[in-house]
Structure 1
Amino acid sequence: MDLEFRHLRVLNAIAEAGSITRAAAALGFTQPALTAQLQRIERLLGGSLFVRAGSGSRPTAFGAMVLAHAHGILTAHEDLMRDVRQRGPEDSDLTALRLGSVPGPLTAVLVTTARQLLPRAEITLHTCDTEEEQLELLATGRLDFGLAVDYPEYELPLRRELSDALLAVDPVFVLISEQHPLAAGTDIPLSALSGEAWLVGENKDVRMRAQFRAACRRAGFVPRRVQRLSASVVFPLVGQGHGVALAHPLVTEREGVVVRPLAGDPMGVRQRLVWATGSPLAEHAPALRDALRKAYRSEVQRAGVYWKWLEDKGRTSPSDPA
């Protein structure tokens, strides 16, 4: 791993906050995630940068030297971005558009929609391991727009440099084997799955996991058999009856596997378009937002199980933003 600009922002945030916990809240990270990030940076640089003191953290002598350089680099970057925003691009034609997304059912929709809206742009896609990584890349100007996912009551806070637009709010469905006794029905109660093994992809989204645990508690059980697996094997294992899995309602059914709604919508997922507020490309955000909402409705209409579920409830689209 090479030292990157985002690492300097992490170190500066810890120094300014005087606490890893407070810095994590300011950056939109969890405390364990930021601690792990700091440990990776320290291994890279070859020494401890902070020492815990009472209820906070203070720089070591080595850390103070690193922070002095980091502050100069960050200040120079802020000056550069301010001048770029004030001056704007020489060419009014958009020639490059950098998109980001944690891989999901709408990633391709984002690229297709952007290409239709801006056909002359050279579009690149960066897939991120976590939503926190994506927001960092957006805030530091390394991405222009991102498709962010979070969950009702477990929202992902935005840094002050970022803006967002809500695209849709969807329920979370479940994948089960077509031979499962509950496969013939609809609106499966979460409590009816209390004895199942839950097959979870290698997703690093702690908010999704927190929402799942809370929903299980409300349903009266604790999921005791949770297996974290490569996403490529989740469908085959579900199809052969080795467990069940959570799924976005747009997920396509495959041989041996069916997608079913959960009774009472115990979990949900939000889709958001995110961009840097001061970016010269921010002017394209309203048009991209509207185009994404329209494209998303078309995707929902093609998703047989989800569309039927909406029709049964007397709705013609997912929960639209206000």
Structure 2
Amino acid sequence: MNLEIHDLRILRAIAETGSIAGAARQLGTGQSNVSRHLQRIERAAGTPLFRRHHGGTAPTTAGRILLCGAQTLLSQFDSLLSAVAAHTRGEAAADGVRIGSIRHPVLPAVAGAIHSLLPDAALRVRTDDSSAVLLEALRAQDLDVAVLRRLPLLDPPLPDDVESAVIAPECLCAGVGTGHRLAAGTSAGTPAGASVGMPAGVSPEVSAGMSAEMSAGVPLGMSVGMSDLASETCVMTGSRTSPLRRHFLAAATAYGGTVPELAWAPDESVATALACASAAVHITYPPPAPTPGVVYRPLRDEAARSQIVLAWTCSSSVARHASSLAEAARNA
């Protein structure tokens, strides 16, 4: 007779609740699923383990013998799992959890999720504008987990020793003053009446990301294309070798048209001031909060798209929690 730990949990739940329906509620599954498992277990045992009656179920003599052993095994197994979990928490608490991230609003959600899962672990956070630098640190085991920006059409695949989960889709945005022609909807190739939430030419995945940004209070309008920026001066922050500049120039090159004139601002406040005055178009990733007088319009070109991903290695101290961390970040 071959029984699994899950089979023993089902038998225990039926005995504790006195019915198949009660066991299903306790285990968070359907009543039919519990019934099928019980029938299979009884076939394997070669004898009925529970007697069905009007008020529910009661274990037979064979059932009581099996339940006695099942309780002992389950207690030992649960203690083993608790010991392993405590050891994992202890390792993380001793070494701390090292988080690397681009400067992005999702970072607090990741840090909060790690604290919830590993409350005794000290958190060390490192930020960098370059996902490549963070990826290198992750592979060198200088980081346990990293929040990266990946460009699906431009970046090579992640190395085999790195696993990842997509947190959210993104795309480059063009910030313009409310009096700018692009704020008024004068966009080449954008049909009149196109939905603000689902701009023409943008995939449902990217549109979902735009909707998420809009729900956060960022005023995103209809999409624009690289062709709409050909006659504009585009201003960016950061160095001339920044990932943002690389992404924008790659998108412009992929478009194949005229690359817009580029200007540089020392910080975001200067860039948004120029956009507000309609003196330039502010090229950026979706901002975390709205800026009065500026409308941010997503670039619909394929090469303008990106993804925010959570990355880790199999040897990381938080690898077993990675899927939970990614889900928490998605729901933030």
Shorter-chain TM-score range: 0.5 to 0.7
CA contact (8 A) 2:236 2:245 kept: no
TM-score, normalised relative to structure 1 = 0.56
Match among 283, 292, 298 for residue 255 of structure 1: 292
Q: Distance in 2 between matches of 1:266 and 1:92?
A: 41
Which residue does the alignment assign to 1:113? 113
Deviation at 1:267, TM superposition (A): 1.5
Match among 229, 232, 238 for residue 193 of structure 1: 229
Which residue does the alignment assign to 1:283? 320
Q: Distance in 1 between matches of 2:168 and 2:88?
A: 34
Percent identical among aligned pairs is 25
Q: Distance in 2 between matches of 1:115 and 1:152?
A: 30
**Cα deviation 1:121-172 (Å, max 9, x = unaligned):** 3222101242122112211222111001021211254334322222222233
Which residue does the alignment assign to 1:165? 165
Q: Distance in 1 between matches of 2:102 and 2:305?
A: 17
Q: Distance in 1 between matches of 2:114 and 2:241?
A: 26
SS state at 1:254 partner: coil
Deviation at 1:242, TM superposition (A): 2.3
Q: How many pairs are equivalent? A: 209
Match among 270, 273, 277 for residue 240 of structure 1: 277
CA contact (8 A) 2:174 2:297 kept: yes
Taking a change above 3 Å as real, the CA distance of residues 290 and 204 of structure 1, as seen in their structure-2 partners, is farther
**Cα deviation 1:50-80 (Å, max 9, x = unaligned):** xxxxxxxxxxxxxxxxxxxxxxxxxxxxxxx
Q: Distance in 2 between matches of 1:122 and 1:170?
A: 30
Match among 213, 221, 229 for residue 265 of structure 2: 229
Taking a change above 3 Å as real, the CA distance of residues 154 and 218 of structure 1, as seen in their structure-2 partners, is closer
Larger-Rg structure: 2
Taking a change above 3 Å as real, the CA distance of residues 134 and 117 of structure 1, as seen in their structure-2 partners, is same
Q: Distance in 1 between matches of 2:88 and 2:227?
A: 58
Q: What amino acid sits opposite 2:110 in the alignment?
A: L
Q: Distance in 2 between matches of 1:109 and 1:279?
A: 19
SS state at 1:255 partner: coil
Deviation at 1:103, TM superposition (A): 1.2
Q: Distance in 2 between matches of 1:209 and 1:149?
A: 14
CA contact (8 A) 1:130 1:205 kept: no
Does residue 213 of the first structure (1) align with residue 213 of the second (2)?
no
Q: What amino acid sits opposite 1:99 in the alignment?
A: I
CA contact (8 A) 2:151 2:305 kept: yes
Which residue does the alignment assign to 2:21? none
Deviation at 1:226, TM superposition (A): 0.9
Q: Distance in 2 between matches of 1:204 and 1:211?
A: 12
Deviation at 1:108, TM superposition (A): 2.9
Taking a change above 3 Å as real, the CA distance of residues 89 and 132 of structure 1, as seen in their structure-2 partners, is farther
Gaps of at least 5 residues in structure 2 are: 1-83, 186-221
Which residue does the alignment assign to 1:299? none
Deviation at 1:183, TM superposition (A): 1.0
Q: Distance in 2 between matches of 1:218 and 1:251?
A: 27
Q: Distance in 2 between matches of 1:90 and 1:217?
A: 51
CA contact (8 A) 2:106 2:329 kept: no
CA contact (8 A) 2:89 2:120 kept: no
Which residue does the alignment assign to 2:138? 138
Correspondence 1:77-96 to 2 at 5 A: 92-93=89-90, 94-95=92-93, 96=96
TM-score, normalised relative to structure 2 = 0.55
Which residue does the alignment assign to 1:270? 307
CA contact (8 A) 1:202 1:228 kept: yes
Deviation at 1:254, TM superposition (A): 0.7
Q: Distance in 1 between matches of 2:320 and 2:329?
A: 15
Correspondence 1:9-48 to 2 at 5 A: none
Q: Distance in 1 between matches of 2:178 and 2:116?
A: 37
SS state at 2:318 partner: helix
Taking a change above 3 Å as real, the CA distance of residues 234 and 114 of structure 1, as seen in their structure-2 partners, is farther
SS state at 1:280 partner: coil
Gaps of at least 5 residues in structure 1 are: 1-86, 296-322
